[in-house]
Amino acid sequence: MPSLVDSLTFFFPVSGVKTPVLLPPLVALFISFFTSMGGISGAFLLLPFQMSFLGYTSPSVSGTNHVFNAIAIPGGVYRYIKEGRMVWPLTAVIAAGTLPGVFLGYYLRVVFLPDPGTFKLFAGGVLFIIGIRLLREGVGRTNAKPSPAKALEEKFRARADEARRQRSARLAAGLPPRAAVKTLSLSLHRIEYEFWGERFHFNTPGMLLLALLAGIIGGAYGIGGGAIIAPFCATVFQLPVHTIAGATLMGTFLTSLAGALFFTFMPSVNGASPTPDWALGILFGLGGLAGVYLGARCQKYVPQKLLNLLLGSAIVLLAGLYCIR
């Protein structure tokens, strides 16, 4: 007589994966809850889980990750829009760069990186760069110059301290309701916006170039590019994570939707089919949908440095394991 675990175990013919049906959504929910607070869907951690734990190593795993993103991200985007923390000009620049990049990334994946061993080394390198960036931002520099992002962090800390003094942290801590994004200037050279009394800006061509490179890598890796753009926005462009998360998630959603369709309809290259496992991707996506929404809802109560330290440590460790295997 089959056990309960056996009765809940499904086989996915496209990917060749056999797994308990509740495992993918639960893993996706746990991962995306934490990563979505930093503007990352969690697909960059789901990829090694699929490859190493589920044994899904064919090139179509990248397309399946795109399916996950397309299903998981809208809930979180909705929260950031509702709370007024969506930087629309940044979203537009990210989408303009990552959309063409994702198509170039497709060819990089199926033509030059079809072998699982080579792809794991490539993925490990990407993860290591992301992790180091996050750790540097989390640790910070004692002699760093004052910046609006640091001023914002001080406001966040002061608000939390005041809440603890009033013994009402659950109600008062985090960002105040008035902390919404307001665009101040918009041009082909520079974009500036205001958040919680502080002004932030970024170079438009520089951000566009970063988005293009992130799209190429994200298209090959199946992460949409947000996992690369988000830490660079926080470290290089000195933008606060409370304002970039919505934009990077939206950019990831758009590129992943395009990537999932592109991987589905493109013909096989060198005998390797890029067609995603839609059933498995949707199953991951349903867990991610809940995780990203809850993460976006809780993000305004969590300091940026703590998130960067925890996430950066996990990514660097994972990158090391990936590179030596």
241-294 pLDDT tens trace: 888 989 999 988 988 898 888 888 877 666 667 789 999 999 999 999 999 999
266 burial level (CB within 10 Å; 0-12, 13-18, 19+) = middle
What is the dihedral angle through the alpha carbons of 162, 165, 171, 177, rounded to the nearest 10 degrees? -10
At residue 285, the 3 state secondary structure works out as helix
Distance (Å, whole) CA 164 – CA 319: 38
User: Identity (one letter) of the amino acid at 304?
Assistant: Q
Distance (Å, whole) CA 101 – CA 106: 9
pLDDT at 169: 44
pLDDT at 280: 95
For residue 197, report the phi and psi dihedrals to the nearest 5 degrees.
Answer: 80, 0
* pLDDT over 90 (residue 192): yes
Does residue 36 contact residue 76 with C-beta atoms inside 8 Å? yes
- DSSP assignment of 109-137 equals IIII--SHHHHHHHHHHHHHHHHHHHHHH
For the record, the structure tokens of 160 come out as: 């939390």
Cross-strand partners of 190: 203
Averaged pLDDT for residues 26-39: 91
Averaged pLDDT for residues 122-132: 76
Mean pLDDT of the chain: 81
Percentage with pLDDT > 70 across the chain:
78
pLDDT at 5: 55
For the record, the structure tokens of 34 come out as: 């934490």
Closest Cα to residue 288, out of 94, 119, 60, 49?
49
* pLDDT over 70 (residue 325): no
Averaged pLDDT for residues 223-251: 83
Higher-confidence residue of 146 and 21: namely: 21
Higher-confidence residue of 19 and 228: namely: 19
Averaged pLDDT for residues 104-132: 73
Does residue 199 contact residue 83 with C-beta atoms inside 8 Å? no
Does residue 184 contact residue 231 with C-beta atoms inside 8 Å? no
- Read off the DSSP letter of residue 299: G
pLDDT at 215: 83
Higher-confidence residue of 39 and 207: namely: 207
Q: What is the pTM of this model?
A: 0.81
197 burial level (CB within 10 Å; 0-12, 13-18, 19+) = exposed
Distance (Å, whole) CA 103 – CA 99: 7
- DSSP assignment of 54-97 equals S---STHHHHHHHHHHHHHSHHHHHHHHHTT---HHHHHHHHHH
- DSSP assignment of 207-258 equals HHHHHHHHHHHHHHHTSTTHHHHHHHHHHTS---HHHHHHHHHHHHHHHHHH
Least confident of 117-121, 185-189, 277-281: 117-121
pLDDT at 160: 57
Q: In what order do the strands lie in the sheet with 190-195?
A: 182-186, 190-195, 198-203
pLDDT tens by residue, 46-87: 888 998 889 998 878 888 998 999 999 999 999 999 988 899
pLDDT tens by residue, 294-308: 999 988 888 777 777
Phi/psi region, residue 199 (left: phi>0; alpha: psi -120 to 50; beta: rest), is: beta
- Read off the DSSP letter of residue 175: S
Averaged pLDDT for residues 167-174: 48
